Amino acid sequence: MDSLRIYNTLSREKETFVPLTPGEVRMYVCGMTVYDYCHIGHARVMVAFDLVQRWLRALGYRVTYVRNITDIDDKIIRRAVENGETIGALTDRFIRAMHEDADALGVARPDHEPRATRYIPQMLSMIDRLEHNGYAYQGTDGDVNFAVRKFANYGQLSGKSLEDLRAGERVTTNEAKADPLDFVLWKQAKADEPPESKWDSRWGHGRPGWHIECSAMACELLGERFDIHGGGQDLQFPHHENEIAQSEGASGAHFVNYWMHNGYIQIDNEKMSKSLGNFFTIREVLERFDAEVLRFFILRAHYRSPLNYSDVHLDDARAGLTRLYTALKDVEPDTGALDWNEAFAARFRAAMNDDFNTVVAVSALFELASEVNRTREPALARQLRGLGNLLGLLERDPRAFLQSAAGAQGAGEGLDAQAIEASIEARAAAKRAKNYAEADRIRGALLAAGVVLEDKPGGATEWRRA
């Protein structure tokens, strides 16, 4: 196959992917902080890097995929106290919800899903090494901080200079720190915080800072140097910049070869934000749209591009996915293997190898669907389904998808499958009685309710949601 090229945020250009170990890929992605339900920004991260690991495996790589869970931080502590429940009960509940959302979206579980609270010893060990190497110090308030100016390459990922950062410093000077730019590695425990949020250390009782969590878990599970680190664009600075400083400050080794960041979710052209009131959880979206439609909506855009969420765009994604499933409805794919020499597959492969360009890959699927409709060739239907499967799409029975209500126009009319079948039988009876006006009325009523009828040769009638 053609060489895979990845846009590396660190170099700001596409690079030919060369793994550290031939045939193997080690990848870490920053996961969720579990104090609430996942929102559609989380959906984009999950789907984008699920796509990456799927394609890497399709290329024949042995992939070790790690996506962490942050189960201790200020928001989690505050929410647990507000709810009157333990931190463990809160985080367990939202981890279950996260898994339910990911499963609905067809997101495969990562090979490892470390929880921060289970890697405290590794975090303390890394902080100890940072202190020994001269990068960490304990402030007068008891917090242990990273001395940013002592790390020569700070700002390499974000392109921010120390001068720019200092000039843009808006946080009130913290007298306990040696420099306002320094960030916390170990937070001194507060007296009013629950006991389960505190761990013992030689710097006193406390808990880890957010940045050290990912550095410690990534290095423990993938080694001090690995291939790919991913996450949302919003994590590029300061989180990933701080991860580089900590990890390289502790080990002295280059941390990650390829940095990948997916773009923001926008709501009607504005960045999604709770403060703006344009915030949607995955669960809220799935009440109205099929989960595969949401996945397809995310994959139709390039992972690095901003993604504008709106009902109109979800409806358009539903129509597009309906078109692909409709092509498979009446043509049974043959059982052969995916043929990469076939023209549409070759175009799909070239697109995916060009920094996971799903925009072009999906366009190849649509062109292939048109050929399936024109030729009714089982081999082309096999190609369409097989390529779609590589994106986590087209894995259901076509009729089951086409008759599913979520996201279909008119779904709110309340017609379930049983009622639709009853109406179709009434229409058939009217036709047998030569009452064609009644038959037409029933067809029109179903169409108004978002149900399309298709009369087949031999007298059978099939239906799908509009």
Contact 135, 154 (CB under 8 A): no
Largest Cα–Cα distance in the chain? 91
The number of residues making up the chain comes to 466
Q: Is 38 annotated as a binding residue?
A: no
Contact 301, 313 (CB under 8 A): no
Q: Report how far residue 400's alpha carbon sits from residue 329's, in angstroms, rounded to the nearest whole number.
A: 10
What per-residue string of b and e applies to 224-260 under the rule 16 or more CB within 10 Å gives b?
Answer: bbbbbbbbbeebbebbbbbbbbbbbbbbeeebbbbbb
Enter the tokens of residue 363: 């366009």
Residue 240 is classified by DSSP as I
Q: Is 239 annotated as a binding residue?
A: yes
Enter the tokens of residue 103: 């499963």
Q: Report how far residue 308's alpha carbon sits from residue 195's, in angstroms, rounded to the nearest whole number.
A: 42
- 12 by DSSP, 3-state: which? coil
Q: At which residue do the structure tokens 């730019």 appear? A: 181
HSE-up of 58 (CA within 13 Å, CB side)?
Answer: 25
Q: DSSP string covering 320-374, please?
A: HHHHHHHHHHSS---SPPP-TTSHHHHHHHHHHHBTS-HHHHHHHHHHHHHHHHH
- 7 by DSSP, 3-state: which? strand
Neighbours of 265 (CB within 10 A): 22
Enter the tokens of residue 14: 């596409």
Contact 207, 128 (CB under 8 A): no
Enter the tokens of residue 348: 């799909």
Q: Is 243 annotated as a binding residue?
A: yes
Q: Report how far residue 128's alpha carbon sits from residue 250's, in angstroms, rounded to the nearest whole number.
A: 9
Binding site for Zn(2+): which residues? 30, 214, 239, 243
Binding site: which residues? 30, 214, 239, 243, 274
Binding site for ATP: which residues? 274
